[in-house]
Amino acid sequence: MTTSKWTPGTDETGETPIRRAPTRCALGLGSNVGDTKAILDKAIGKLEQTEGITLVLRSSDYRTPPWGPVPQDDYRNCCVVIDTLLSPVELLKRCLEVEAELGRVRDVRWGPRSIDIDVLIYGLEKVVESDLEIPHPRMGDRAFVLIPLAEIWPDAPLGDGRTAADALEICPDRDGVVKLLD
């Protein structure tokens, strides 16, 4: 695993344009405001329509209790596996654009939201930027991420030597996460 600082469209020297092979990534999506199913479907559709992103797999949707100190409704969560030609920073930028297009307002940390899209995994890369840390630093402790991720990519590398399936075996709060059938 490497730590990288990305400059989109350049090589290590920062000067030569390069064309990269697709990178396998995982994204976590959640919503607890409005028509959560429709919002997740729209978000995934917008990501799928993005040049340089190919949807590989989508998990089932799960009802999950809210996480954090702010009282709020349950969430609908899912994960997707994508292949992308975008750099980690470009992928984050696109995720934030989709959130904004779907009405996301960032006013209360860990508060209710129409849509939240987290970059969980970007290949085997380790990225530490001021506004981006990959692999997501807390995903290995959160059942609402691990259950849908392990459903579609059990061998997903969490960056700490464990896979999604490994982490899920010891993850607390699994009982609060319920698979939705609609």
Active-site residue, 160 included: no
DSSP letters for the chain: --B----TT--TTS-S---PPPEEEEEEEEE-SSSHHHHHHHHHHHHHTSTTEEEEEEPPPEEE---SSS--PPEEEEEEEEEESS-HHHHHHHHHHHHHHTT----STT---S-EEEEEEETT-BEEETTEEES-TTGGG-HHHHHHHHHH-TT-B-SSS-BHHHHHHH-TTGGG-EE---
Catalytic residue among 58, 94, 113, 142: 113
Catalytic residue among 118, 138, 173, 174: 118
Catalytic residue among 76, 104, 142, 166: 104
Beta carbons of 79 and 149 less than 8 angstroms apart: yes
> Can you read off the two tokens belonging to residue 70?
């702010």
> Can you read off the two tokens belonging to residue 87?
């750099």
Active-site residue, 76 included: no
What gap in Å lies between CA 154 and CA 152, rounded to an integer? Answer: 6
Active-site residue, 104 included: yes
Active-site residue, 116 included: yes
Catalytic residue among 116, 138, 155, 182: 116
Residues designated as active site: 104, 113, 116, 118
